[in-house]
Amino acid sequence: MGRHLPTSGGLRKTLALAEEQGCEALQVFVSNPQGWAEPMVRDDAEAFVEGARKIGISPGVAHAKYLINLASPREDLRENSMRALAAELVAAGELGLDLVVVHAGSHGGDGEEKGVDRLVEGLERARELAGNSGRAAEAVVENSVGAGTQLCSTFDVLGEVSRRAGVRVCVDTAHAFVAGHDLAVPGGPRLVAAELRAALGEAVALLHLNDAKNELGSHRDGHRKVGEGLIPEASWTELFAALPGVPLVMETPYETPEADAEEVRRVKRLAGGLRKTADEG
Ligand SMILES: [Zn+2]
Ligand SMILES: [Zn+2]
């Protein structure tokens, strides 16, 4: 398990933070998530690849730009999104990262069916383009909160995209909760995990482990530190037991490095005694 970590102090600092906080996985941005600028070539890339290998980071994850909308009704936006995702797959691959999480996007009023068609096509084209230029990371699609015309707030639609585009997915627990999946009641996490497995099988590559700031079914995003939001601590233990072996990355608000490290320890306590995977012995 790990956290989303800043890269502003350089990638060596990112790795130092990961180690200090007891992270075995990590997530970073490889470009400005709010702008279209392409990922920069970093002179600390090699040090990062080596350092991450040495401390055993797995998986290494990049979160793609928030601007990307492969399902947009606007052709120019779809084209920019496809190229931006391809560039991030390549940049993440060059940093030795395994996964790139991309949002499912919004159909913008054209309807879910058309939106899903566009998303599937965009994912296929981005992977093709990235595949042509060397080593690329794996794109995984994240579930949404289902605000407005956002796609993939239900596991069924996420499953359809996964099957048709041949991609795995990232499930954000805060998004799932505000989209209407009740993780807060006893037995809820087990049920949600069963639904997830029915819709996606083995295609869940990653959990974004975030506590929810807003109510069940509110469709309003907002992350809290694990244990400080609307999902009780017992729910996490139940969820981990129902989804063994799925890596997780927290995207909860940064506090002091000490408070962040305490959150990692808390989650490890909640997952205590569980085997990481069946074959890791
Ligand atoms: Zn996200
Ligand atoms: Zn997320």
**If the chain, 281 residues long, is cut into consecutive pieces of 10 residues, what is the mean pLDDT of each piece?**
95 97 97 94 94 97 98 98 97 97 98 98 97 88 98 98 98 98 98 97 97 97 95 96 95 92 93 56 38
- Residue 63 C-alpha to ligand 1 middle, in angstroms? 7
Query: pLDDT value at position 71?
Result: 98
| Distance between Cα 100 and ligand 2 center (Å) | 12
Distance (Å) from CA 103 to ligand 2 centroid: 9
CA of 129 to the centre of ligand 2 (A): 25
Ligand 1 centre to CA of 279 (Å) is 29
* CA 251 – ligand 2 centroid, Å: 6
Question: Distance between CA atoms of 131 and 236, rounded to whole angstroms?
Answer: 37
**What CATH class has 2-270?**
alpha beta
Which-ligand-closest: CA of 102?
A: 1
Ligand closest to the CA atom of residue 206: 2
CA of 19 to the centre of ligand 2 (A): 22
Distance 216 CA to ligand 2 centre (A): 16
| Ligand number with the minimum distance to the CA of 175 | 2
Cβ neighbours for 193, distance < 8 A, ≥ 6 positions apart: 239, 242, 243
Q: How far is the CA of 250 from the centre of ligand 2 (A)?
A: 8
Contacts of residue 101, Cβ cutoff 8 Å, sequence gap at least 6: 27, 61, 62, 63, 64, 140, 141, 142, 170, 206, 208
Ligand 2 center to residue 73 CA distance, Å? 24
pLDDT at 281: 38
- How many whole angstroms from 130 Cα to the centroid of ligand 2? 23
Compute the Cα dihedral for 235, 240, 243, 246 and give only its sign: positive
pLDDT for residue 215: 97
Contact (CB, 8 A) for 65 and 33: yes
CA of 34 to the centre of ligand 1 (A): 12
CA of 142 to the centre of ligand 1 (A): 6
Beta bridge partners of 139: 100
Distance 16 CA to ligand 2 centre (A): 23
